Amino acid sequence: MARTATKKSAKGTAAALPHFNFRRLSGGAVLLTNDSGMHASLSGAQFRQFRDGRVAAGSALYKDLAAKGFVRDMMDIEGYAAACAKKNSFLGAGPGLHILVLTLRCNHKCVYCQSSAVGQASRGTDMSPALARKCVDFALKSTNPGITIEFQGGEPLLNWEALKASVLHARRRARELGREVRLALVSNFSLMTEEKARFLLANEVSICTSLDGPADLHDKNRVFAGGGSHAATVKWLKYFSAAYKKQVPEFRTFKPSALLTVSRYSLGREKQIVDEYVRLGLEDVFLRPLAPIGYAKQLWDKVGYEPADFLSFYRAGLDYILKLNARGVTIRERNAVMMLEKILNGTDPGYLDMRCPCGAVIGQLAYNHNGDIYACDEGRMVGWQGDDLFKAGNVERDSYSKVMLSQASRACAAASSLDTQPQCSRCAYKPFCGVCPVYNYETQGSLSGEMPSNGRCGLFMGLFDTLFSLLAKPASAKILKGWVSK
Protein backbone atom coordinates (compact mmCIF):
# COMPACT_ATOMS: atom_id res chain seq x y z
CA MET A 1 0.00 0.00 0.00
CA ALA A 2 1.36 3.38 -0.98
CA ARG A 3 2.40 5.68 1.77
CA THR A 4 0.18 8.72 1.98
CA ALA A 5 0.36 12.22 3.41
CA THR A 6 -1.26 11.12 6.65
CA LYS A 7 -0.50 8.64 9.36
CA LYS A 8 -2.14 5.27 8.84
CA SER A 9 -3.63 5.36 12.31
CA ALA A 10 -5.37 8.61 11.68
CA LYS A 11 -5.87 8.38 7.94
CA GLY A 12 -8.51 10.68 6.61
CA THR A 13 -8.93 12.67 9.76
CA ALA A 14 -8.10 16.29 10.36
CA ALA A 15 -5.91 15.26 13.29
CA ALA A 16 -3.53 13.56 10.88
CA LEU A 17 -2.71 16.79 9.06
CA PRO A 18 -0.24 19.38 10.30
CA HIS A 19 -1.56 22.84 11.03
CA PHE A 20 -2.39 24.77 7.87
CA ASN A 21 -4.81 27.38 6.59
CA PHE A 22 -6.43 27.39 3.18
CA ARG A 23 -8.39 29.58 0.81
CA ARG A 24 -10.25 28.78 -2.38
CA LEU A 25 -9.05 31.08 -5.14
CA SER A 26 -10.90 32.11 -8.26
CA GLY A 27 -10.59 29.44 -10.93
CA GLY A 28 -10.94 26.58 -8.46
CA ALA A 29 -7.39 26.45 -7.09
CA VAL A 30 -6.90 26.09 -3.35
CA LEU A 31 -4.09 27.91 -1.57
CA LEU A 32 -2.45 26.21 1.42
CA THR A 33 -0.27 28.17 3.84
CA ASN A 34 1.34 27.51 7.19
CA ASP A 35 2.91 29.60 9.93
CA SER A 36 6.40 29.25 8.47
CA GLY A 37 5.18 31.23 5.46
CA MET A 38 5.31 28.30 3.05
CA HIS A 39 2.52 28.06 0.51
CA ALA A 40 1.26 25.63 -2.09
CA SER A 41 -1.41 26.03 -4.72
CA LEU A 42 -3.45 22.89 -5.37
CA SER A 43 -6.18 22.09 -7.84
CA GLY A 44 -9.55 21.20 -6.35
CA ALA A 45 -8.90 17.48 -6.95
CA GLN A 46 -5.44 17.68 -5.37
CA PHE A 47 -6.85 19.46 -2.35
CA ARG A 48 -9.40 16.71 -1.82
CA GLN A 49 -6.61 14.12 -2.05
CA PHE A 50 -4.57 16.09 0.48
CA ARG A 51 -7.53 16.52 2.81
CA ASP A 52 -8.35 12.83 2.68
CA GLY A 53 -4.76 11.65 3.06
CA ARG A 54 -4.65 10.13 -0.41
CA VAL A 55 -1.58 11.86 -1.85
CA ALA A 56 0.76 9.07 -2.97
CA ALA A 57 4.15 9.18 -1.21
CA GLY A 58 6.28 9.05 -4.32
CA SER A 59 4.39 11.69 -6.24
CA ALA A 60 5.75 15.12 -7.08
CA LEU A 61 2.88 16.68 -5.16
CA TYR A 62 3.76 14.69 -2.04
CA LYS A 63 7.40 15.77 -2.24
CA ASP A 64 6.43 19.39 -2.76
CA LEU A 65 3.99 19.35 0.15
CA ALA A 66 6.49 17.55 2.37
CA ALA A 67 9.23 20.07 1.58
CA LYS A 68 6.90 22.88 2.59
CA GLY A 69 5.78 21.42 5.89
CA PHE A 70 2.33 20.21 4.88
CA VAL A 71 2.98 16.50 5.59
CA ARG A 72 3.05 15.68 9.25
CA ASP A 73 5.11 12.49 8.89
CA MET A 74 7.77 14.38 6.96
CA MET A 75 8.01 17.53 9.04
CA ASP A 76 11.44 19.12 9.15
CA ILE A 77 10.86 20.77 12.49
CA GLU A 78 14.21 22.57 12.56
CA GLY A 79 13.73 23.87 9.03
CA TYR A 80 10.20 24.96 9.87
CA ALA A 81 11.45 26.77 12.97
CA ALA A 82 14.23 28.44 10.99
CA ALA A 83 11.73 29.72 8.44
CA CYS A 84 9.52 31.07 11.23
CA ALA A 85 12.52 32.77 12.84
CA LYS A 86 13.60 34.33 9.54
CA LYS A 87 10.11 35.59 8.78
CA ASN A 88 9.69 37.02 12.27
CA SER A 89 13.21 38.32 12.82
CA PHE A 90 11.78 41.75 13.62
CA LEU A 91 10.47 40.37 16.93
CA GLY A 92 13.95 40.68 18.39
CA ALA A 93 14.88 43.99 16.83
CA GLY A 94 13.07 46.92 18.46
CA PRO A 95 11.85 50.13 16.84
CA GLY A 96 13.71 50.89 13.62
CA LEU A 97 11.63 53.78 12.29
CA HIS A 98 11.57 57.06 14.21
CA ILE A 99 9.30 59.73 12.76
CA LEU A 100 10.04 63.28 13.86
CA VAL A 101 7.13 65.61 13.24
CA LEU A 102 9.11 68.83 13.09
CA THR A 103 6.04 71.00 12.62
CA LEU A 104 2.33 70.64 12.14
CA ARG A 105 2.38 73.65 9.83
CA CYS A 106 1.92 73.10 6.14
CA ASN A 107 1.59 75.32 3.09
CA HIS A 108 -0.58 72.77 1.30
CA LYS A 109 -4.19 71.90 1.95
CA CYS A 110 -4.43 68.39 0.54
CA VAL A 111 -7.96 67.10 0.16
CA TYR A 112 -7.16 63.91 2.03
CA CYS A 113 -4.54 65.17 4.51
CA GLN A 114 -3.81 62.37 6.98
CA SER A 115 -1.10 64.15 8.90
CA SER A 116 -3.30 66.55 10.84
CA ALA A 117 -1.53 69.64 9.53
CA VAL A 118 -2.37 73.23 10.46
CA GLY A 119 -2.01 76.47 8.49
CA GLN A 120 1.39 77.91 7.65
CA ALA A 121 0.92 80.88 10.00
CA SER A 122 -0.09 78.82 13.05
CA ARG A 123 1.99 79.17 16.18
CA GLY A 124 3.10 76.74 18.84
CA THR A 125 3.29 73.76 16.52
CA ASP A 126 7.02 73.75 15.70
CA MET A 127 9.54 71.47 17.38
CA SER A 128 12.48 73.44 18.82
CA PRO A 129 16.00 72.49 17.68
CA ALA A 130 16.84 71.48 21.26
CA LEU A 131 13.84 69.17 21.45
CA ALA A 132 14.64 67.75 18.02
CA ARG A 133 18.10 66.79 19.30
CA LYS A 134 16.51 65.13 22.33
CA CYS A 135 14.27 63.14 20.01
CA VAL A 136 17.34 61.97 18.09
CA ASP A 137 18.99 60.94 21.36
CA PHE A 138 15.85 59.05 22.33
CA ALA A 139 15.76 57.28 18.97
CA LEU A 140 19.39 56.25 19.43
CA LYS A 141 18.39 54.38 22.60
CA SER A 142 16.54 51.90 20.41
CA THR A 143 17.70 48.31 20.61
CA ASN A 144 17.49 48.17 16.82
CA PRO A 145 21.05 48.30 15.44
CA GLY A 146 20.06 50.17 12.28
CA ILE A 147 17.53 52.93 12.75
CA THR A 148 15.89 55.33 10.31
CA ILE A 149 15.00 58.84 11.42
CA GLU A 150 12.34 60.25 9.14
CA PHE A 151 11.54 63.96 9.13
CA GLN A 152 7.90 64.70 8.53
CA GLY A 153 5.24 67.31 9.17
CA GLY A 154 3.20 69.22 8.21
CA GLU A 155 5.86 70.36 5.83
CA PRO A 156 9.21 69.82 7.58
CA LEU A 157 11.02 72.46 5.49
CA LEU A 158 8.90 75.07 7.29
CA ASN A 159 11.05 74.31 10.36
CA TRP A 160 14.47 74.24 8.70
CA GLU A 161 16.38 75.11 11.88
CA ALA A 162 15.09 72.04 13.71
CA LEU A 163 15.65 69.86 10.65
CA LYS A 164 19.22 71.06 10.23
CA ALA A 165 19.94 70.69 13.94
CA SER A 166 18.63 67.15 14.12
CA VAL A 167 20.46 66.05 10.96
CA LEU A 168 23.80 67.35 12.23
CA HIS A 169 23.20 65.93 15.71
CA ALA A 170 22.18 62.53 14.36
CA ARG A 171 25.23 62.30 12.14
CA ARG A 172 27.57 63.30 14.98
CA ARG A 173 26.03 60.94 17.53
CA ALA A 174 25.95 58.08 15.05
CA ARG A 175 29.68 58.51 14.45
CA GLU A 176 30.40 58.65 18.18
CA LEU A 177 28.28 55.58 18.92
CA GLY A 178 29.29 53.64 15.82
CA ARG A 179 25.62 53.25 14.97
CA GLU A 180 24.05 52.95 11.55
CA VAL A 181 21.54 55.78 11.16
CA ARG A 182 19.58 56.41 8.00
CA LEU A 183 18.03 59.84 7.61
CA ALA A 184 15.02 60.50 5.41
CA LEU A 185 13.03 63.60 4.56
CA VAL A 186 9.41 63.57 3.40
CA SER A 187 8.69 66.95 1.78
CA ASN A 188 6.40 68.53 -0.78
CA PHE A 189 9.48 70.42 -2.09
CA SER A 190 7.65 73.74 -2.30
CA LEU A 191 10.26 75.36 -0.02
CA MET A 192 13.30 73.50 -1.32
CA THR A 193 16.33 75.60 -2.32
CA GLU A 194 19.74 74.76 -3.74
CA GLU A 195 21.36 75.47 -0.39
CA LYS A 196 19.00 73.16 1.48
CA ALA A 197 19.31 70.47 -1.17
CA ARG A 198 23.13 70.56 -1.00
CA PHE A 199 23.02 70.28 2.81
CA LEU A 200 20.67 67.29 2.62
CA LEU A 201 22.78 65.54 0.01
CA ALA A 202 26.03 66.16 1.87
CA ASN A 203 24.52 64.64 5.01
CA GLU A 204 23.19 61.60 3.17
CA VAL A 205 19.53 62.36 3.79
CA SER A 206 17.34 60.32 1.46
CA ILE A 207 14.50 62.22 -0.12
CA CYS A 208 10.88 61.25 -0.54
CA THR A 209 8.05 63.38 -1.84
CA SER A 210 4.39 63.05 -2.69
CA LEU A 211 3.40 62.58 -6.29
CA ASP A 212 -0.22 61.84 -7.03
CA GLY A 213 0.07 61.58 -10.80
CA PRO A 214 -0.07 64.04 -13.70
CA ALA A 215 -0.30 67.76 -12.97
CA ASP A 216 -4.08 68.17 -13.02
CA LEU A 217 -4.69 65.23 -10.67
CA HIS A 218 -1.78 66.03 -8.38
CA ASP A 219 -2.82 69.66 -8.04
CA LYS A 220 -6.45 68.72 -7.46
CA ASN A 221 -5.46 66.42 -4.60
CA ARG A 222 -2.65 68.58 -3.26
CA VAL A 223 -3.92 72.12 -3.16
CA PHE A 224 -1.14 74.70 -2.89
CA ALA A 225 -2.00 78.37 -2.58
CA GLY A 226 1.46 79.37 -3.79
CA GLY A 227 0.95 77.92 -7.26
CA GLY A 228 1.15 74.46 -8.79
CA SER A 229 2.37 71.83 -6.36
CA HIS A 230 3.18 69.45 -9.20
CA ALA A 231 5.70 71.81 -10.83
CA ALA A 232 7.85 72.07 -7.69
CA THR A 233 7.61 68.33 -7.10
CA VAL A 234 8.80 67.52 -10.60
CA LYS A 235 11.55 70.13 -10.57
CA TRP A 236 13.15 68.80 -7.41
CA LEU A 237 12.58 65.15 -8.24
CA LYS A 238 14.64 65.76 -11.37
CA TYR A 239 17.27 67.60 -9.35
CA PHE A 240 17.72 64.76 -6.84
CA SER A 241 17.54 62.12 -9.59
CA ALA A 242 20.36 63.91 -11.42
CA ALA A 243 22.41 64.02 -8.22
CA TYR A 244 21.82 60.29 -7.74
CA LYS A 245 22.99 59.52 -11.28
CA LYS A 246 26.03 61.73 -10.90
CA GLN A 247 27.24 60.38 -7.52
CA VAL A 248 30.30 61.95 -5.92
CA PRO A 249 33.02 60.31 -3.85
CA GLU A 250 32.42 62.48 -0.75
CA PHE A 251 29.04 61.02 0.21
CA ARG A 252 26.42 58.49 -0.84
CA THR A 253 23.48 59.88 -2.81
CA PHE A 254 20.23 57.96 -2.70
CA LYS A 255 17.67 57.70 -5.45
CA PRO A 256 14.68 59.91 -4.60
CA SER A 257 11.31 58.24 -4.18
CA ALA A 258 7.71 59.33 -4.25
CA LEU A 259 4.53 58.37 -2.45
CA LEU A 260 1.15 58.24 -4.10
CA THR A 261 -2.10 58.66 -2.22
CA VAL A 262 -5.13 57.39 -4.06
CA SER A 263 -8.15 59.65 -3.59
CA ARG A 264 -11.52 59.25 -5.27
CA TYR A 265 -10.22 61.54 -8.00
CA SER A 266 -7.47 59.01 -8.79
CA LEU A 267 -9.85 56.16 -9.56
CA GLY A 268 -9.85 55.27 -13.24
CA ARG A 269 -6.61 57.16 -13.85
CA GLU A 270 -4.18 54.38 -13.00
CA LYS A 271 -2.44 54.37 -16.39
CA GLN A 272 -1.79 58.12 -16.34
CA ILE A 273 -0.43 57.87 -12.79
CA VAL A 274 1.93 55.02 -13.68
CA ASP A 275 3.00 56.82 -16.85
CA GLU A 276 3.87 59.91 -14.83
CA TYR A 277 6.09 57.85 -12.52
CA VAL A 278 7.80 56.23 -15.51
CA ARG A 279 8.24 59.62 -17.21
CA LEU A 280 10.06 60.94 -14.14
CA GLY A 281 12.37 57.95 -13.98
CA LEU A 282 10.90 56.53 -10.77
CA GLU A 283 11.22 52.76 -10.58
CA ASP A 284 8.61 52.18 -7.87
CA VAL A 285 5.04 53.31 -7.59
CA PHE A 286 3.12 52.66 -4.38
CA LEU A 287 -0.59 52.33 -5.18
CA ARG A 288 -1.47 53.31 -1.64
CA PRO A 289 -5.06 53.38 -0.44
CA LEU A 290 -6.44 56.25 1.57
CA ALA A 291 -7.45 55.42 5.13
CA PRO A 292 -10.33 57.12 6.96
CA ILE A 293 -8.02 58.51 9.63
CA GLY A 294 -7.42 62.14 10.63
CA TYR A 295 -8.67 64.86 8.28
CA ALA A 296 -9.59 62.25 5.65
CA LYS A 297 -12.13 60.72 8.03
CA GLN A 298 -14.11 63.96 8.09
CA LEU A 299 -13.98 64.23 4.30
CA TRP A 300 -14.52 60.56 3.53
CA ASP A 301 -17.80 61.18 1.72
CA LYS A 302 -15.97 63.47 -0.69
CA VAL A 303 -12.58 61.80 -1.21
CA GLY A 304 -13.00 58.24 0.11
CA TYR A 305 -14.15 55.06 -1.58
CA GLU A 306 -15.09 51.45 -0.92
CA PRO A 307 -12.40 48.73 -0.81
CA ALA A 308 -13.88 47.24 -3.98
CA ASP A 309 -13.32 50.55 -5.80
CA PHE A 310 -9.69 50.60 -4.75
CA LEU A 311 -9.22 46.96 -5.73
CA SER A 312 -10.52 47.65 -9.24
CA PHE A 313 -8.08 50.55 -9.47
CA TYR A 314 -5.26 48.40 -8.10
CA ARG A 315 -5.85 45.45 -10.42
CA ALA A 316 -6.00 47.69 -13.47
CA GLY A 317 -2.87 49.55 -12.34
CA LEU A 318 -0.91 46.38 -11.63
CA ASP A 319 -2.02 44.86 -14.90
CA TYR A 320 -0.72 47.95 -16.72
CA ILE A 321 2.57 47.84 -14.79
CA LEU A 322 3.03 44.18 -15.77
CA LYS A 323 2.41 45.08 -19.41
CA LEU A 324 5.04 47.82 -19.19
CA ASN A 325 7.47 45.35 -17.64
CA ALA A 326 6.82 42.91 -20.47
CA ARG A 327 7.87 45.71 -22.84
CA GLY A 328 11.11 46.23 -20.93
CA VAL A 329 10.09 49.25 -18.80
CA THR A 330 11.47 49.22 -15.25
CA ILE A 331 8.64 49.97 -12.81
CA ARG A 332 7.48 48.01 -9.77
CA GLU A 333 4.45 48.30 -7.50
CA ARG A 334 5.41 48.66 -3.82
CA ASN A 335 2.47 46.80 -2.21
CA ALA A 336 3.23 43.85 -4.45
CA VAL A 337 6.96 44.03 -3.76
CA MET A 338 6.50 44.02 0.00
CA MET A 339 3.97 41.20 -0.05
CA LEU A 340 6.08 39.16 -2.48
CA GLU A 341 9.12 39.56 -0.22
CA LYS A 342 7.13 37.70 2.41
CA ILE A 343 5.46 35.21 0.09
CA LEU A 344 8.43 34.28 -2.10
CA ASN A 345 11.49 35.05 0.04
CA GLY A 346 10.12 34.43 3.53
CA THR A 347 11.66 37.68 4.75
CA ASP A 348 10.27 40.72 6.50
CA PRO A 349 10.40 43.73 4.16
CA GLY A 350 9.95 46.20 7.03
CA TYR A 351 6.33 46.97 6.18
CA LEU A 352 5.26 47.86 9.71
CA ASP A 353 1.52 47.85 8.98
CA MET A 354 1.68 44.22 7.89
CA ARG A 355 3.42 42.62 10.81
CA CYS A 356 2.17 40.45 13.62
CA PRO A 357 2.26 42.12 16.10
CA CYS A 358 1.99 45.39 14.21
CA GLY A 359 4.85 47.88 14.24
CA ALA A 360 3.28 50.24 16.78
CA VAL A 361 6.05 51.16 19.29
CA ILE A 362 7.95 47.88 18.84
CA GLY A 363 8.72 48.80 15.22
CA GLN A 364 8.28 52.55 15.09
CA LEU A 365 7.72 55.69 17.13
CA ALA A 366 6.23 59.02 16.11
CA TYR A 367 7.58 62.08 17.96
CA ASN A 368 5.15 64.98 17.92
CA HIS A 369 6.33 68.60 17.76
CA ASN A 370 5.91 68.93 21.55
CA GLY A 371 7.88 65.80 22.43
CA ASP A 372 4.91 63.51 22.90
CA ILE A 373 5.62 60.03 21.60
CA TYR A 374 2.95 58.04 19.80
CA ALA A 375 2.80 54.38 18.84
CA CYS A 376 2.83 55.35 15.17
CA ASP A 377 2.07 58.36 12.99
CA GLU A 378 -1.55 57.30 12.54
CA GLY A 379 -1.88 57.11 16.33
CA ARG A 380 -0.51 60.64 16.52
CA MET A 381 -3.28 61.77 14.17
CA VAL A 382 -5.88 60.27 16.50
CA GLY A 383 -4.17 62.15 19.34
CA TRP A 384 -4.51 65.38 17.40
CA GLN A 385 -8.27 64.84 17.49
CA GLY A 386 -8.11 64.83 21.29
CA ASP A 387 -7.84 61.11 21.98
CA ASP A 388 -4.45 60.08 23.39
CA LEU A 389 -5.10 56.35 23.45
CA PHE A 390 -2.00 55.76 21.31
CA LYS A 391 0.31 58.07 23.24
CA ALA A 392 3.23 56.07 24.64
CA GLY A 393 5.06 58.80 26.55
CA ASN A 394 7.09 61.98 26.22
CA VAL A 395 10.71 62.44 25.20
CA GLU A 396 11.50 64.74 28.12
CA ARG A 397 9.56 62.98 30.85
CA ASP A 398 9.68 59.25 30.17
CA SER A 399 12.45 56.71 29.91
CA TYR A 400 12.96 54.59 26.81
CA SER A 401 11.93 51.37 28.55
CA LYS A 402 8.84 53.01 30.01
CA VAL A 403 7.73 54.02 26.52
CA MET A 404 8.43 50.55 25.14
CA LEU A 405 6.35 48.90 27.85
CA SER A 406 3.66 51.59 27.95
CA GLN A 407 -0.02 50.79 27.95
CA ALA A 408 -0.28 51.90 24.30
CA SER A 409 2.57 49.58 23.34
CA ARG A 410 1.16 46.56 25.13
CA ALA A 411 -2.39 47.20 23.95
CA CYS A 412 -1.37 47.54 20.29
CA ALA A 413 0.85 44.46 20.40
CA ALA A 414 -1.83 42.32 22.03
CA ALA A 415 -4.63 43.60 19.80
CA SER A 416 -2.67 42.97 16.61
CA SER A 417 -1.70 39.40 17.43
CA LEU A 418 -3.34 37.41 14.65
CA ASP A 419 -3.39 34.25 16.74
CA THR A 420 -6.19 35.74 18.83
CA GLN A 421 -8.12 37.28 15.93
CA PRO A 422 -11.08 35.00 15.07
CA GLN A 423 -10.93 35.40 11.29
CA CYS A 424 -7.20 36.05 10.95
CA SER A 425 -6.14 32.96 12.89
CA ARG A 426 -7.74 30.80 10.19
CA CYS A 427 -6.90 32.96 7.20
CA ALA A 428 -4.62 31.62 4.47
CA TYR A 429 -2.94 35.03 4.30
CA LYS A 430 -2.09 35.10 8.01
CA PRO A 431 1.66 34.42 7.50
CA PHE A 432 1.94 37.51 5.31
CA CYS A 433 -0.59 39.92 6.82
CA GLY A 434 -1.15 42.18 9.79
CA VAL A 435 -3.92 44.25 11.34
CA CYS A 436 -3.81 47.93 12.31
CA PRO A 437 -5.23 48.78 15.76
CA VAL A 438 -5.48 52.47 14.84
CA TYR A 439 -7.54 51.71 11.73
CA ASN A 440 -9.72 49.34 13.75
CA TYR A 441 -10.25 51.91 16.48
CA GLU A 442 -11.06 54.71 14.06
CA THR A 443 -13.46 52.69 11.93
CA GLN A 444 -14.93 50.09 14.26
CA GLY A 445 -14.45 51.40 17.78
CA SER A 446 -12.05 48.78 19.15
CA LEU A 447 -8.34 48.04 18.86
CA SER A 448 -8.93 44.47 17.75
CA GLY A 449 -11.67 45.32 15.26
CA GLU A 450 -14.06 42.89 13.67
CA MET A 451 -12.51 41.47 10.55
CA PRO A 452 -15.54 40.18 8.60
CA SER A 453 -16.76 43.77 8.17
CA ASN A 454 -13.36 45.49 8.33
CA GLY A 455 -12.60 47.53 5.20
CA ARG A 456 -8.83 47.19 5.53
CA CYS A 457 -9.13 43.42 5.84
CA GLY A 458 -11.30 43.29 2.72
CA LEU A 459 -8.79 45.41 0.90
CA PHE A 460 -5.76 43.30 1.82
CA MET A 461 -7.62 40.07 1.11
CA GLY A 462 -8.24 41.46 -2.37
CA LEU A 463 -4.58 42.39 -2.82
CA PHE A 464 -3.42 38.92 -1.79
CA ASP A 465 -6.05 37.29 -4.05
CA THR A 466 -4.75 39.40 -6.93
CA LEU A 467 -1.12 38.49 -6.31
CA PHE A 468 -1.72 34.77 -5.89
CA SER A 469 -3.82 34.63 -9.05
CA LEU A 470 -1.02 36.41 -10.93
CA LEU A 471 1.57 34.03 -9.47
CA ALA A 472 -0.44 31.17 -10.95
CA LYS A 473 0.15 32.55 -14.46
CA PRO A 474 3.67 31.88 -15.80
CA ALA A 475 4.14 35.19 -17.64
CA SER A 476 3.11 37.44 -14.76
CA ALA A 477 4.78 35.15 -12.20
CA LYS A 478 8.11 35.56 -13.97
CA ILE A 479 7.88 39.35 -13.74
CA LEU A 480 6.70 39.37 -10.12
CA LYS A 481 9.43 36.96 -9.06
CA GLY A 482 11.96 39.16 -10.82
CA TRP A 483 10.90 42.10 -8.64
CA VAL A 484 12.09 40.37 -5.47
CA SER A 485 14.88 38.17 -6.76
CA LYS A 486 18.17 38.80 -4.97
Partner 1 sequence: MKEDKKNSPLFFSAGLYSAEALKLAAAVFSARGGVRLTAGKGGTEAVLSGGINPGEFANEALNQQCRIDLSARNSRLSGIIVTKALLSASGSSKKGGK
Interface residues with partner 1 (CB under 8 A) are 88, 90-95, 142-143, 356-357, 361-362, 400-401, 404-405, 409-410, 413-414, 417, 419-422, 425, 444-446, 448, 450-453
CB 221 within 8 A of CB 263: yes
Nearest to 12 by CA among 44, 40, 54: 54
**For partner 1, the closer CB: 319 or 450:** 450
DSSP, res 207: E
* Distance of closest approach, residue 344 Cβ to partner 1, in angstroms: 23
**For partner 1, the closer CB: 93 or 278:** 93
* Distance of closest approach, residue 450 Cβ to partner 1, in angstroms: 4
* Distance of closest approach, residue 361 Cβ to partner 1, in angstroms: 7
* Distance of closest approach, residue 483 Cβ to partner 1, in angstroms: 28
**For partner 1, the closer CB: 289 or 294:** 294
Distance of alpha carbon 33 from alpha carbon 139, whole angstroms: 37
Distance of alpha carbon 136 from alpha carbon 167, whole angstroms: 9
**For partner 1, the closer CB: 22 or 90:** 90
* Distance of closest approach, residue 179 Cβ to partner 1, in angstroms: 14
Burial code (b: 16+ CB inside 10 Å, e: under 16) for 58-92 equals: eeebbeebbebbbbbebeeeeebeebbeebbebee
CB within 8 Å of 53: residues ≥ 6 apart: 4, 5, 6, 11, 12, 13, 16, 17
* Distance of closest approach, residue 241 Cβ to partner 1, in angstroms: 36
CB 206 within 8 A of CB 254: yes
CB 362 within 8 A of CB 122: no
**For partner 1, the closer CB: 417 or 469:** 417
Return the SS3 of 247. coil
**For partner 1, the closer CB: 213 or 357:** 357
CB within 8 Å of 69: residues ≥ 6 apart: 18, 34, 36, 38, 75, 76, 79, 80, 83
* Distance of closest approach, residue 15 Cβ to partner 1, in angstroms: 15
Quote the radius of gyration of the chain (alpha carbons, Å).
24
CB 83 within 8 A of CB 36: yes
**For partner 1, the closer CB: 229 or 421:** 421
